[in-house]
Chain A
Amino acid sequence: MNDSEEFDARVAKLHQPDRMVGDARVLARAEEGAGGVARAVLTAVDETILPAELTFASEAGETLTLSAAARRLRAVTAASDDLSPEEVAGRELEPEEEDGLHAALDLLVRFARGASGTVVVSERRGEENAMRGVSALRLIGMLPPDAGPVTAAVPPAPAGDGGGGARDFLAASEGRLRASMTRSPSGEVTSGGAEELAATLAQLLDGAGSDDEPALQLWAQQSGTPAGPAFGRALWADGTVLAMAFDAADVAPLVAAFQGSIND
């Protein structure tokens, strides 16, 4: 992209309305892949001129706070314990210290790989200080070419025959599914999300009846703290079957998403 095109792209982006969740701006979606999420985080740094603390969060619950100014990443301020931030948190980033930069990028990639659903950023004013930091564009260039798959992405709906109801359902259920497995009317099986749930989802697919009436069944632990994910199985009139794993708290929204997919 030459300078003129980049200018045009930035002006166009400035005119796009931001999607907000509370005080946080929607930055990316986990299904863009870990590389997409990591680039979106660094692009937010690149768009930061005045000193700011940027806190990134996804629906997986992990957060990452970066200190940024003048389009440069100055430091990783804090991150969820699950991301093992001890090595880098609170340390100033120096352009000459490649090891420190790679450690910060590794932390960013861990955040991106663990992301699910919507990734948002909230911003508060940062301190003026003497930290130089490192150019966000340089860091984008240092990202591994394949940052790897995210662990909990919504898989694509089956292509080809049928799948309209399933597509609508997946679109409406946003990032609520930890994993899913879909069997199209022609028998093609596609899956996505947490691999350790695949065996259970396959059993659910195998147990699906051949009824041609649309139906949804969900199973969840309602009492106490759920020990594991909730499960569900949906069947549409065209024969598409979808088995899914999700958080028990999402029973009601998934029922609404299914009802929307069969009533449209």
Chain B
Amino acid sequence: MSADALKVLTESHAACRAALFADLATSMVLLVESRATMHREAQQELALRGGELLSVMDRSAPDTDLAVSVTVDEVAVFLRVPDAPTDVLCCLCAPEVDLGAFAADARACLNALAGAAG
């Protein structure tokens, strides 16, 4: 089941606190995995944040499909599918996340989810 990909991603990276798969075209959060309760408003807000950040470079670097936002206490990782840019994966991680490994696994997860959803 493709939906398990999200669970596998969060379980294999202890630093990943929450991950969701959303379709920005319909503004729908399709799947959520979170270590703590994540209310619908917080899910929607995270998906919108991901969509906005991923589109910042649309004019000068339209092939951007990965955006990362780092603050003192969080690393947020957002991915979109090149062929279907409204399919996004939004992840909140602790600062100690192994970003290289996580981003690679997150891409595989998104490809699985987008392939199944598309």
A216 interface residue, CB < 8 Å from B?
A: yes
B75 engages A218 (CB within 8 Å)? no
Contacts of B53 in A (CB 8 A): 217, 219
Interface flags, B71-86, vs A, CB<8A=1, else 0: 1100100010010000
Q: Which of A164-205 contact B (CB under 8 A)?
A: 200, 203
* Most chain A beta-carbon neighbours within 10 Å: one of B68, B69, B79, B100: B68
B61 engages A221 (CB within 8 Å)? yes
B63 engages A228 (CB within 8 Å)? yes
Contacts of B48 in A (CB 8 A): none
Q: Which of B54, B69, B107 contacts A223 (CB 8 A)?
A: B107
B99 engages A227 (CB within 8 Å)? no
Contacts of B61 in A (CB 8 A): 200, 219, 221, 228-231
Contacts of A207 in B (CB 8 A): 56
B70 interface residue, CB < 8 Å from A?
A: yes
B94 to chain A, nearest CB (A): 11
B60 interface residue, CB < 8 Å from A?
A: yes
B64 interface residue, CB < 8 Å from A?
A: yes
A200→B56 CA distance, assembly (Å): 11
Interface flags, A99-118, vs B, CB<8A=1, else 0: 00000000000000000000
Of the 9-residue stretches A23-31, A129-137, A250-258, which lies at the interface with chain B? A250-258
Contacts of A256 in B (CB 8 A): 99
* SS class, residues of chain A in contact with chain B: mixed
Interface residues on B, range: 20 to 34
* Most chain B beta-carbon neighbours within 10 Å: one of A213, A220, A226, A227: A220
CB within 8 Å for A222 and B66 given contacts A252-B99, A252-B103, A255-B99:
yes
* SS class, residues of chain B in contact with chain A: mixed
A175→B68 CA distance, assembly (Å): 21
B37 to chain A, nearest CB (A): 25
B66 engages A219 (CB within 8 Å)? yes
B72 engages A219 (CB within 8 Å)? no
Q: Which of B71-118 contact A (CB under 8 A)?
A: 71-72, 75, 79, 82, 95, 98-100, 103, 107
CB within 8 Å for A259 and B70 given contacts A200-B60, A219-B61, A223-B107:
yes
A251 engages B99 (CB within 8 Å)? yes
Interface flags, A78-113, vs B, CB<8A=1, else 0: 000000000000000000000000000000000000
A218 engages B72 (CB within 8 Å)? no
B112 to chain A, nearest CB (A): 14
A228 to chain B, nearest CB (A): 6
A219 to chain B, nearest CB (A): 5
B68 engages A255 (CB within 8 Å)? yes
Q: Which residues of A contact B (CB under 8 A)?
A: 200, 203, 207, 213-224, 226-231, 248, 251-252, 255-256, 258-259, 262-263
Q: What are 23 A-to-B residue pairs whose CB atoms are below 8 Å?
A: A207-B56, A213-B72, A214-B71, A216-B68, A216-B71, A219-B64, A219-B67, A220-B65, A220-B66, A221-B64, A222-B103, A224-B82, A228-B63, A229-B61, A248-B66, A251-B68, A251-B99, A251-B103, A252-B98, A252-B99, A255-B99, A259-B95, A263-B72
Besides A221-B63, A223-B107, 7 new A-B residue pairs in contact (Cβ under 8 A), listed by A number: A217-B67, A218-B67, A222-B79, A224-B82, A226-B63, A230-B61, A252-B103
Q: Which residues of B contact A (CB under 8 A)?
A: 53-54, 56-57, 60-61, 63-72, 75, 79, 82, 95, 98-100, 103, 107
